Chains A and B, each alone.
Chain A
Amino acid sequence: MSFPWAKEYTPQNGLMKFLDEKLPLPRLVYNAVGAGYPVPRNLSYFWNFGVLAGFFLVLQIVTGVVLAMHYAANTQVAFASVEHIMRDINWGWLMRYAHANGASFFFVVIYIHIFRGLFYASYKPPREMIWLIGVVIFLLMMATAFMGYVLPWGQMSFWGAQVITGLFSAIPLVGEPLQVWILGGFAPDNAALNRFFSLHFLLPFVIAGCVILHIWALHIPGSSNPSGVEVKSESDTLPFHPYYTAKDGFGLGVALLVFMTFVFFLPNQLGHPDNYIEANPLSTPAHIVPEWYFYPFYAILRAFTYDFILPAKLWGVLAMFSAILVWFFLPWLDKGPVRSGHYRPLFRKFFWFGLIPVMAVLFFCGGAPAEEPYVMISQIATAYYFLHFLVILPIISSIERPDPLPFSITEAVLGSDKKAVLGENAEPVAT
């Protein structure tokens, strides 16, 4: 698909020949994740996380479909039906714990995948579209995860629904009617639970569609790599199969070991005990927090406590959404000519000592109570977060003098690339 030296698919038997003529699905797979997809030879394990994310999406869909066979989306019985799954359904506990922890692991994997994209500037041309679709997938994941957390109809489900739909009420003029429309009532109730179940079932398939677009867009320029140097010749690449199927398979095994440790031994560690209390519209839990993977954005939401032209509440909502929307502009905010953080000394310093600690602080503050000093710490961290993307990154990427890049991926791996220097095989990349 992408490089002239990519191996071509040849059907081996009559059935495959028939299929290749009528519906070339095996050819598509061969060129996408088979020997027909040449991949840079120097990918580190950070390049494993896209495959892992795909695995967890499939896991969530499979366990989710099973759970939907036994769950009842009605406020009278939803809470009890979850306990029915846990206690009465054969293997129901495994399906539910795998699904609940699977959501957390999906986010762990996606956060590392995004982190990889940020450090290696994978969003830079020619891969902007992959990044943009990725941000859309992340937003869809957040919506799906939020609605899934409402379904057990525990205290955190109910109050999470109340707080998150309350975000929309901050919008001037249309906000409150919009919230009532989203909920189908004046507070979360049966109507809301039912529609959230319907959408929670639908959105994963929308995500799967976007994942196909994401991979499609990826296969046009081919994968990025840790050196950030584009593929120049055949010696820079390896066929995806068997090299990366084997490597990603090993990574998947490691990820599953960690995942299953949680499912079997710490299944409620990432959840919240209040969600084992049935929803009570008249009593708010003392300390409402979302699931851990929303902490940084929740901290940004709560950081705004003063009215400044607009009400504080609206600022909080705008900032929370902007914290993700700013990622859409990243390909154009980062003006540097070099991709990989390994060759960008200034970028690297601000990444490790600026952005990453600030994200960690926001993670911590999002789970802390809404009191001082956490509010002020969140405010400082939020300010730095936006400063990093909107001011620091454009400036350092303009003034930075990058370290010298290796001539090719092969040189980055072997220390020299004689073939390429001598001109053999060093044809420019066909697009």
Chain B
Amino acid sequence: MASTTGNAEATPQVSDGVESEDGVRRRDFINIAAVSAAGVGGLVTLIPLISQMAPSADVLAESTTELDLSSLEVGQSIKAVFRKQPVFVRRLTQAEIEEAQAVPIGSLRDPQTLDERTQPGHLDVLVVMGVCTHLGCVPLGAAAGENKGEFGGYFCPCHGSHYDTAARIRKGPAPSNLVVPEYEFTSDTTIVIG
């Protein structure tokens, strides 16, 4: 039987309304092709609709922060802003360093040593995001006089998470330690976060 269109090699036995041996008609092919094209087209339309909600270019552009730590005294902390979120930088005292290193790693919920959470040669500079890993509140403890919690680090007032002097989770609902962002020392007293 002669085919009227160019797809003769695909279904040579089929013409409109006539079943081939396996029961497939030309109209079935057209149906499936049309519905598939519409379906795929519809799904592709979702990409811009979903993607428009992701962070925009200007939000992503604010992605590095430079900090001068030369005036940060031992035992003091500063709050800075990185990606519109707070960052805590604390210069640890010798006692705080020893306290952090005395904790058996196996007993921690999120096992990490102080060395792993600081840069080599800068064991006393602890840089962490000031965002509780539970539900994102800003923990207390960075400013003078604030509650540092039971372990002398940070305390989140929202749901009662206690962090130790290395900002590791010790008690409360938070699942992990305060996040150490990516940063590097560009000089002895300057860091660039991000």
A163 CB contacts on chain B under 8 angstroms: 135-137, 158
Pairwise interchain contact A302-B138, C-beta atoms closer than 8 A:
no
B160–A370 contact, CB under 8 A? yes
Task: Choose from A185, A288, A302 the contact partner of B173 (Cβ within 8 Å).
Answer: A302
A185-B134 CB under 8 A given contacts A288-B158, A305-B172: no
Chain B residues with CB under 8 A of A268: none
Distance of B158 from chain A, by nearest CB (Å): 5
Query: What is the chain B residue whose CB lies nearest that of A177?
Result: B54
Q: Of B85, B134, B160, B175, which is within 8 A of A281 by CB?
A: B85
Determine the chain B residues whose CB is within 8 A of the CB of A281 once the complex forms: 81, 84-86, 138
* A349 interface residue (CB < 8 Å to B): no
Query: Given that A162-B137, A169-B136, A375-B160 are known contacts, is A307 also in contact with B175, CB under 8 Å in the complex?
Result: yes
Q: Are B55 and A286 in contact (CB under 8 A)?
A: no
Residue on A with the closest CB to B176?
A311
Q: Is B26's CB within 8 Å of the partner chain A?
A: no
Residue of B nearest to A186 (CB): B83
Which B residue's beta carbon lies closest to that of A162? Answer: B136
A403 at interface (Cβ–Cβ under 8 A)? no
**CB-CB < 8 A to A287: which residues of B?**
157
Verify B157–A189 contact, CB threshold 8 A. Answer: no
1/0 contact trace for A144-176 toward B, CB 8 Å? 000000000000000100110111011000000
- A184-B173 in contact (CB<8A): no
CA distance A283 to B137 in the complex (A): 9
Do A166 and B173 have beta carbons less than 8 Å apart?
Answer: no
| CB-CB under 8 A for A282 and B81, given A163-B137, A169-B136, A370-B160 | yes
A1 interfacial by beta-carbon distance below 8 Å: no
Evaluate contact between A166 and B135: CB separation under 8 angstroms: yes
Interface residues of A in 262-297 (CB under 8 A from B): 281-288
Write the chain A residue with the least CB distance to B172: A305
| Nearest A residue (CB) for B84 | A187
Q: With A187-B84, A305-B173 in contact, do A286 and B157 touch (Cβ < 8 Å)? A: yes
A107: CB under 8 A from chain B? Answer: no
Does B2 sit within 8 A of A, measured CB to CB?
no
Residue-wise, chain B 131-165 has the 8 Å CB interface mask toward A (1 for contact) of 10111111110000000000000001111100000
Scoring A residues 348 to 372 as 1 if CB is less than 8 Å from chain B, else 0, what string do you get? 0000000000000000000000110
Chain A contacts for B53, CB-based, 8 A: 181-182, 184, 191, 195
How many A-B contacts at CB < 8 Å in the complex? Answer: 98
Task: Give the size category of B's interface with A.
Answer: 20 to 34
Q: How far is the CB of B106 from chain A (nearest CB, A)?
A: 15
Interface residues of B in 72-120 (CB under 8 A from A): 79, 81, 83-86, 109
Is B59 on the interface with A (CB-CB < 8 A)? yes
A371: min CB distance to chain B, Å: 6
Which residues in B have their C-beta under 8 angstroms from that of A195?
53
B55–A180 touching, CB < 8 Å: yes
Q: Is B126 an interface residue, CB under 8 A from the partner?
A: no
What does the 1/0 interface line of A179-213 toward B look like (CB < 8 Å)? 01110111101010001000000000000000000
Known: A163-B158, A307-B175, A375-B160. A186 touches B138 (CB 8 A): no
The answer to whether A184 touches B134, judged by C-beta atoms less than 8 angstroms apart, is no
- Are A284 and B158 CB-contacts (below 8 A) given A184-B53, A187-B84? yes
Complex-state Cα separation, A288 to B139, whole angstroms: 12
Contact A184 B85 (CB under 8 A): no
Pairwise interchain contact B54-A184, C-beta atoms closer than 8 A:
yes
In the complex the two chains form, what is the Cα distance from A307 to B174 in whole Å? Answer: 10
Interface presence of B56 (CB below 8 A): yes
Report the minimum CB–CB distance from A197 to chain B (whole Å): 14
Choose one: A166, A307, A314; the contact of B136 (CB below 8 Å). A166
CA distance A316 to B158 in the complex (A): 14
A365 to chain B, nearest CB (A): 12
Q: How far is the CB of B85 from chain A (nearest CB, A)?
A: 5
Determine how close the nearest CB of chain A comes to the CB of B62; give it in whole angstroms: 9
Residues 6-20 (chain A) with a chain B CB within 8 angstroms: none
Q: 5 A-B residue contacts at CB 8 Å? A: A187-B131, A284-B140, A288-B137, A302-B159, A316-B173
The 7 A-B residue pairs with the shortest CB-CB distance in the complex, in nearest-first order:
A166-B135, A311-B175, A166-B136, A370-B160, A284-B138, A163-B135, A284-B137
